[in-house]
A and B are shown apart, each in its own frame.
Chain A
């Protein structure tokens, strides 16, 4: 492999300004949003078209150079870190978006952020169904690759559920469109879905086509506080059993509420847990729906219920949820963000387990959940990313993942595997007695990427 020859070749093909090799650029592109993973690429290429990507993958194939696709670099698991050197392929500049209103489809280039796509859809009375908290930074390519989700997950799932078709470039420069931009397709193996969650290890995504959903006619928001986690959980089960389908249904534990209150002074009461729900529908239905939710919350002994119907009020009570990560971030220099999924019925057990793990490792852990789909995020606050305190934080985080597994859940819900969860992925697959699944994944990887140049060191070894 002669990296200098390859870089010279790429400069010729793409032009000087798209190839970065200054030590400062290489240092910066060695990071993503994960805390401890870091690497140093040999070069950074800023692609502005599928043709650019084709050139890069041809040259990379010829010279066997690792390629690390990158969007917003907001991955929490180290998945966009160039741990083995190579070329970081930055797709952020590829950000064209087109809404096909009559088809209910949006086409977006890989580098557009989820928020940019959502804002474009809103111009036409639609919204992008997937709403990661990192939407302003996370790109379409990165969010497909990590199979990201958000608060609306219970209703709309993760990225793969909105994905209709995807354009990918394979090592050697072959361009494929996998899937078709229509709502139904029975075309044998779902290769587009295979790309979702592949974390840049199978191909470089250059664009995607997605289902979009109409903007709700009206929204209402309700926030209820409980003295007992079990009561909050029972209220959540009852919401589902009564056939209600809120747009979002979020759970907040006591540590989260305390942290938010101590930083933002919102006037939140002391509570063991809170549940936040958004209901949507025709104008006249909202008050009725809100009342149904209120009744359920009160049935399960909510001691305070706040309702918001105007955008201002809604923003105010949403702060309790939105401020969870910023509050912890202001209180602690280092915050480990956890991501697990459990069967919804196991939420109270999981929350209890998190509490005992926190006290076992003597670290503060706040739990916030997409209660509608069983996805819990933990925020472990630490003063440092090294030494004993860091070790305890990491152990606590891993133990939480293992408990999720025991409760019938998964070690990763929407943040992916990257480097951080490689061993947990293996554990989960083994736990289910399906070791061969890992072998299938390895074989699939070899078909797409025989030389193993795409994002090496991620997902599995």
Chain B
């Protein structure tokens, strides 16, 4: 792998220090506007590391752990992908032995238990018990639930699997599904990520899979983007479920969908800003008869973050929740469902809704589509 500090130079040298990125940074806001906690601050910290003026340490690492929402890059006048720079910085720090306690636990959970939450594999696969029949062990199409969906939002996993099965017929899941290892990539532990993602690819192939459908944008990115970043090439077609369903829709394979409800849609940062998947979920939702989709006050590439990404949550649960609550300010009036397409966003926003006691249900897009399919049939 190349020298991370060298990789940082192009970002640091092109940063104009204009600070326009700060205006949209949720972590800058939740920190109480500490310059060091904003994107320009992070770029300056990286500059300090490059210059040798700052040394790798926990505080610096803590500051590089934002939500990686990527809104700063949208604002960057130089067009820099700033989150890439933060990740190179994290990788550099980890390579120099700097690992924050909360992150250390997370890494060891992924490595030893196969999920970041520290639960046994039995718990992760419990959602399968709720399916009408045991899923196939081999198929061309694999539903990859991912740790967060399987453990934190099992009902979404059930809905996604059932939905896929009812439309495409044969869908398998990987036995003892491994973690996609994205937390290791985000923590900067790229060599163990590489080992991990290779295992994931192997397990999918062993199950006969060539098409992988996920409900978690982090899993999608891990297999699609991070794998390539660490030099792992593979021939799997990796889809987030909204892309896959949209493709089925284009092929005329989506059955009639019907649900009477006014809903809004929260763009997960990883899906929208990072992968550019903004139109697909809307096309899908608009396809459901009876649904009235009202946009949030900030949406698409300019959507606000839920606070749940980038490994920020375990380091600052309070800040993370304040970001989620802030996101609720963007809700339009009179909506029954807040739909999203990422289990982390769903967990975060559900907690926020409970905290401020709002009468709105946060659901995954697969659940909404599944409900509208079940209803209409």
Contact = CB atoms under 8 A, between A and B. Distances in A.
Contacts of B54: 23-24, 27
Chain B interface main SS type? helix
B14 A137 contact: no
B375 interface: no
Contacts of A35: 17
A180 interface: no
B327 interface: no
B16 A329 contact: yes
B16 A33 contact: yes
A29 interface: yes
Interface in A94-147: 95, 111, 113, 115, 134, 136-137
Contact of B23 (A25, A136, A333, A335): A136
B16 A137 contact: no
B209 to A, nearest CB: 40
Contacts of A334: 16
A34 B40 CA distance: 13
Interface string A21-64: 01111011101111100000000001000000000000000000
B32 A31 contact: no
A283 interface: no
A31 B13 CA distance: 14
Contacts of B14: 329, 333
A31 to B, nearest CB: 6
B-side interface size class: 20 to 34
Interface residues of A, number: 34
Interface string B43-71: 01100100001100101100100000000
A33 B21 CA distance: 12
A134 B34 contact: no
A20 B34 contact: yes
A33 B44 contact: no
A181 to B, nearest CB: 26
Contacts, number: 88
Nearest to B18: A33
A202 B53 CA distance: 33
B298 to A, nearest CB: 13
Contacts of A46: 32-34
Contacts of B40: 73
A52 to B, nearest CB: 13
B77 interface: yes
A96 to B, nearest CB: 13
Nearest to B24: A136
Contacts of A451: none
A90 B33 contact: yes
B79 interface: yes
Contact of B36 (A25, A33, A111, A333): A25
B79 A330 contact: yes
Contacts of B78: 326, 329-330, 333
Nearest to A22: B59
B16 A24 contact: no
A72 interface: yes
B77 A24 contact: no
A88 B299 CA distance: 36
B41 interface: yes
B29 to A, nearest CB: 10
B77 A73 contact: no
A111 B29 CA distance: 13
Contacts of A92: 33, 35
Contacts of A34: 17
A73 B16 CA distance: 13
B18 A74 contact: yes
A24 B48 contact: yes
A42 to B, nearest CB: 16
Given A33-B16, A136-B23, A25 B77 contact: no
7 contacts: A22-B36, A24-B54, A27-B48, A27-B54, A28-B35, A95-B33, A329-B16
In order of increasing CB-CB distance, the 10 nearest A-B pairs are A136-B23, A92-B33, A329-B77, A326-B77, A137-B19, A28-B36, A28-B44, A28-B41, A333-B14, A329-B78
